[in-house]
Chains A and B, each alone.
Chain A
């Protein structure tokens, strides 16, 4: 009897651990690190993800219903934006930063170019309320969604409640963004033994590991930390990165290290989109490093790369392109939902 009792406790604890099972679209390789997003607080479901996708593509989130999240984060650019170096928002207003790509968000803690946002859930409040981006506010968004024909039933399917709340809008938007997992580039296939690097790519990989991987850490190609990578300040913008928030001298010119996956789709590069080509980025690392007190120690010694080595390094970086991610139908405009309005 005593044993049965402890057995019951043991089994119920065990089943608790397996209670949350991720749906297939949230699968990721076993060589990816531990999740940073707490999925237990917002368990991933098909319904919430579908709702989040509709919200992400719907201009109803902006004041004059012209701008959606996807206006600046396009699926065909791995959810970055390539037409402009600086972001382009409501009433054609130009922002001060280049819209970053959105993928592998479940492994991040530092959001935005300077890490001012600490959790994906809360991020959407920023573009929704920014006067130059969507110029709306979350209360207005909730009100409009509640009045729409399609959303109350989508919220009901997702959250069991057709009364729409701000927190549930944020949870759904997170879910769609969490489902954007890029893990099927040639690099990943090589890692899983499904493909082989060419000699040139192999050589580029070695150069990458020697010079770049301390910040652009595998397998996500970012350590999600902040660093000064030696870009000279653009005096028309005077963007000092993290310093703008903390005003601490040690934070001057620190920006979050971006992932290097999908570079073919996410140009232009850097927080202000100053480089259009990967080669220009490499030229920056070999010849353009601006020395300032917060420059990362890895970049204090010059990085030496011959023109051929640069070509090899680029060949390796291109193995990080993940076409199956960029062209995944599940990530495109949800016609079946949004065109029925």
Chain B
């Protein structure tokens, strides 16, 4: 009898708890030299000295967590999101967090962890048939950037960077940890695509499509292009 009472208490406690939650948005804005990138009908405007056009930008955000003084204070459950620049809705991740949550940093993984990569087929964001999973070897593409530039010496001047894979030594997953100085309700994250492309000489390197040394070196640059817009 006493036990049942306890359960009742727990139950009412949890509904109490539920009432004190709020929604918070984590939003991403891809930019090129501070100009925001928009893709309409598979084409963007022309950017930068190399006349770059972006035709696709997709990446996985997983394991979103908030930190306060280096301690985890909130972790999103089942946290897997596919961000696709062509799908405006996907650029905003709504999170339900405790009303009184205080945090000084946000953390997420860019890509999919090895356990999930080996678990088999999923629906939703992790659906392996949505173009973010390699077909000829196992592994998610963590970050996909495609576009054109007249300096790429190939057919249609296209560049394609598919960075992903989870197997050592080429585990390309990147942990991104961003300090929030004035955590307001929503968190806006800028992705400086120009800074990523600055690392690459497009006239030499225009195609990386598998997990290898070159891909790993490039992936390691990715955390530096994410920053909080205060």
Contact = CB atoms under 8 A, between A and B. Distances in A.
Interface of A: 1-2, 5, 37-38, 41-42, 109, 116-122, 125-126, 128-130, 138-139, 142, 165-167, 170-171, 174, 245-248
B120 A38 contact: yes
B90 to A, nearest CB: 18
What class of interface size applies to chain B in its complex with A? 20 to 34
A166 B4 contact: no
Contacts of B118: 109, 118-119
Given A118-B138, A165-B129, 17 more contacts: A1-B1, A5-B3, A38-B119, A116-B136, A121-B120, A121-B121, A122-B120, A122-B128, A125-B133, A126-B135, A129-B136, A138-B129, A167-B123, A174-B120, A174-B121, A246-B169, A248-B169
Contacts of A246: 167, 169-170
Question: Which of B136, B169, B170 gathers most chain A CB within 10 Å?
Answer: B136
Interface in B12-56: none
A130 B1 CA distance: 64
Interface in B165-210: 167, 169-170
B127 A167 contact: yes
A330 to B, nearest CB: 24
26 contacts: A1-B1, A1-B3, A2-B3, A5-B4, A38-B120, A41-B119, A116-B136, A118-B117, A119-B121, A122-B138, A125-B129, A125-B133, A126-B136, A128-B135, A129-B135, A129-B136, A165-B123, A165-B127, A167-B121, A167-B127, A167-B129, A170-B121, A170-B129, A246-B167, A246-B170, A248-B169
> Dominant SS at the B interface?
loop
Question: Which of A120, A138, A171 gathers most chain B CB within 10 Å?
Answer: A138
3 A-B pairs closest in CB distance: A166-B129, A121-B121, A116-B137
A119 B122 CA distance: 12
Contacts of B136: 116, 126, 129-130
A42 B4 CA distance: 35
Contacts of B2: 2
A41 B138 contact: no
Contacts of A42: 120-121
A171 B127 CA distance: 12
Contacts, number: 78
Contacts of B130: 166
Interface in B96-130: 117-123, 127-130
Nearest to B210: A245
B127 A166 contact: yes
B92 interface: no
B3 A166 contact: no
B160 interface: no
A166 B136 CA distance: 16
B212 interface: yes
A119 B120 contact: yes
Interface of B: 1-4, 117-123, 127-130, 133, 135-138, 167, 169-170, 212-213
Nearest to A38: B120
B143 to A, nearest CB: 20
Contacts of A142: 129
B122 to A, nearest CB: 7
A18 B2 CA distance: 30
A128 to B, nearest CB: 7
Contacts of B213: 247
B111 to A, nearest CB: 16
Contacts of B137: 116-117, 245
A41 B137 CA distance: 21
A57 to B, nearest CB: 21
A41 B133 CA distance: 19
A116 B169 CA distance: 14
Nearest to B126: A167
B80 to A, nearest CB: 14
Contacts of B4: 1, 5
B138 A170 contact: no
Contacts of A38: 119-120
A167 B119 CA distance: 13
A125 B127 contact: no
Contacts of A248: 169
